[in-house]
Structure 1
């Protein structure tokens, strides 16, 4: 068994134009004052990191890590969620996903994909320079628009989609392997990797690439009505990162899984701050500890009711209260004795 590290916080949802949320120094002091021990850095935020420079310069990364360490914090992972998303975009989503790309890549899907690929590769080198062994990302999606099979999907479509997705990611995964860094794909609705079956399809398409792993976030599984506890039993060996985010699913006579195109607050399935939803975090932390998952517990705040400030204040003590110090001793060790074969025979009546 292994003790989970934490608490940590993903900074993406807290970025703002106002201090302290507009700089690395400000966010580090804020997080440390709230009791966090680690930060997950969104690499598309150039106010926090210059990813290209980080991928090229160990000196830059040493200085970046030193700055974070000065606040009593560690960098848990670099996140390339937005760039990873752009590695694979179906044309139906081009216009909306252009919002994630630099201006010179907009209206140019080929250039946008190449930019995203280079960004994710830079994160591999930057992670190595920072002494990190895992990086968080999205897979992107070519098939999501066919998620509900109407009209019927033609034979071979799904297989071709995963072959193409793997083709785009394999050179990236190979770079991560050279850098000694795992890729933890967040299993997430909207991505082609959104449950266990799709992860297995992708893993097989990559030839079971050893750097292909999972960022586990149970909130997405509640919204899919998937057993998020059994998921750990199936995939614990692949879980390399962990988002602590809560959610709830409360269907009624008008709303169900698809949500009726409603805003988050009005959906049957919606994200909540840790402790405010339906997720059994006590069992999750127990399972991850029992399986020896070497992960940081990183709070990701996405709540449609509670303010981010309150969510952040409550998040650190919530995670800290769930971290289990893995025992190195059996509770009945006091009754242990040296093996006495003759005594054993007597106990068994032999």
Structure 2
């Protein structure tokens, strides 16, 4: 099969590798879609950051080189020993979290902060491939009325949903600073929760327009003279919003969030920033709180319910679907150029399989294409 294998910074190869065999407690899935995440971009641009190079990750036992991709879904095609809750042919969304199940946080149900936490596709082989073998606990069966295209977005949507849960009781007013896929999905899920006012902040007009379509009530250019935070206060009669979501990972975005949040309000950190400086005097005097949100837990069943029963549509954030062979040029490089019209790019490994079947048929054979027929194609 073909897979996108990370060897080092700027060295991701579309390589022919063996189809993995599902081990004990694992399933093999035929991948339908795998989204490109900002984490993948960082690993491609200047990694390793999370990818294990010297020591195997305790959750996967893997070290680089490894297959990228943690936002994926597909169809079960084989079962490993002891797997009983899934069957061949099940369509599944993959919750790519490794967890040990034994540490104190796992026993408390907080498996997203497991001592050995990690992601398939970053700390182990993932879904930018035609097939992927994963622990069966990662696979969530999909109802017939939930498409695989929707399921491909459950991972970033889970990040957004967990951030909303970390905000506490459903607020009346929120600000979302940073309209990448997670920020836009935060807007959509806030609207699903009937948040009255949703202020979206970004520098890209196309993303602001998309946020409006997803439920944002107010749109603000992050580069606004005088500061976006002050403009948000004006919109709220000088009060500020109940909760602000920092989904950029920068000190300036955090400052905007704090300036936009009311006294007694909360800022939820979702973006990954280096060290930042804070005016703790103002933080204390305003009795604002800052909480962090990492990954997610117990979100997939809720997203499946929202899509299947309430008709939640996550797909407007998808701006392109590309073949696996185009991952670097059409995926990573396009996103790194900061193309404002691109938000979520999905990789479709089946595009190659479809071409091989078509090629085999044109060659007059009913069997899968051989290496010779691939060369002819």
TM normalised by structure 1 equals: 0.31
Q: Which has the higher helix share?
A: 1
TM normalised by structure 2 equals: 0.29
Report which structure shows greater RCO (CA 8 Å, sep ≥6).
Answer: 1
Q: Which has the higher strand share?
A: 2
